[in-house]
Amino acid sequence: MELVKSNNPQKQSDITVRRIAFGHEKTMERHWFRGNPFMTHFMNSLHSVFPAGERYFIRSVKWFDKQIQDPALKERVKAFIGQEVQHGMQHEKFLASLDQMGLDGSAWAGWYEKDAYRNDEKPSHESVWFDMLEKVIGKEAQQRIGLSITAALEHYTASIAETVLKNRDLHDGMPEDMRNMFMWHAAEEIEHKSVAFDVFKDVAHGGYGERMLGFTFGSFYLLYYIGLGWGHYLMADKELNKVSLVPAVLESVPTYFKLITETLKSVLPYVKPEFHPDDSDNDLLAKEYFAEAAKYIEAKSA
């Protein structure tokens, strides 16, 4: 494990890059979450949007990399990228397992990456959303909004992380390796929750209006693509008995109600003009998880 620590006492932060081989891809069953296909395919969709999203987060922060003057922030950006690369690798393994089950995870994630995120290095990735944005506001402003979307989605991931670390009953019935992969990702999202935000605010000098535009765009992205992915997996699952979906949907209601209401409590402060991610008092949740999972992580460290 590589510990990257800031030397700046104003912004002391521990962002640790942990390389772990969970082995979750070998232990997955088709309906791996509580035997409930409705909830499993929601989780499949959630895990599927991470790799391309995280690649975009890294690109959008790198656009402003050279303008970062503060050495402590440079170090935090480096560690943020290190963590997101590791997350992407674990979720790619997960996609490969979905492929083996005939659920076409990689194909769906590939389509989503092209549709959602522009990548100037890959001309085939010409996202309609970002192209439209660039035509209206120009390239530089498009990149600032892109970074603002990243900051907003990073706030969403940290908020979801807070909910699932605080409410362990939400992932009762998840296989141990999947649960730890999910918790590890959640806890690291809390560790690096303010990095993209600080680059947006302190380096790109993004204002409140741009932040809200990114938040609106990011909220749409989250609902739209996770919803599409969920639909894709439900349709692609040829072993799914559609009648059995009814009790599965009913069973899922209390979990989703809690997940949504708890997450919204953490998400909504983002609209306050004075908001900063470090105001959210959730760092201890990440520390507690890493302390309790220390033996598991040590045993699985790659």
Residues that bind Fe ion (CB under 5 A): 84, 87, 154, 189
CB nearer Fe ion, residue 84 or residue 113: 84
How far is residue 266's CA from residue 290's CA, in Å, rounded to a whole number? 21
- Residues 190 and 158 sit within 8 Å (Cβ to Cβ): yes
Residue with tokens 């599927």: 48
Smallest distance from Fe ion to CB 84, Å: 5
Smallest distance from Fe ion to CB 10, Å: 22
CB nearer Fe ion, residue 113 or residue 237: 113
Per DSSP, the three-state class of 272 is coil
Smallest distance from Fe ion to CB 74, Å: 18
Smallest distance from Fe ion to CB 77, Å: 12
CB nearer Fe ion, residue 58 or residue 234: 58
Task: Identify which of 41, 38, 52 has the alpha carbon closest to the alpha carbon of residue 111.
Answer: 52
Per DSSP, the three-state class of 53 is helix
Smallest distance from Fe ion to CB 150, Å: 9
How far is residue 133's CA from residue 148's CA, in Å, rounded to a whole number? 13
Smallest distance from Fe ion to CB 189, Å: 5
CB nearer Fe ion, residue 134 or residue 154: 154
Smallest distance from Fe ion to CB 181, Å: 11
CB nearer Fe ion, residue 84 or residue 262: 84
Per DSSP, the three-state class of 16 is strand
How far is residue 158's CA from residue 163's CA, in Å, rounded to a whole number? 9
CA angle 108, 37, 89 (to 5 degrees): 45
CB nearer Fe ion, residue 30 or residue 276: 276
Nearest to Fe ion by Cβ — which residue?
87
CA angle 109, 115, 120 (to 5 degrees): 105
How far is residue 95's CA from residue 104's CA, in Å, rounded to a whole number? 8
CB nearer Fe ion, residue 145 or residue 190: 190
- Residues 5 and 14 sit within 8 Å (Cβ to Cβ): yes
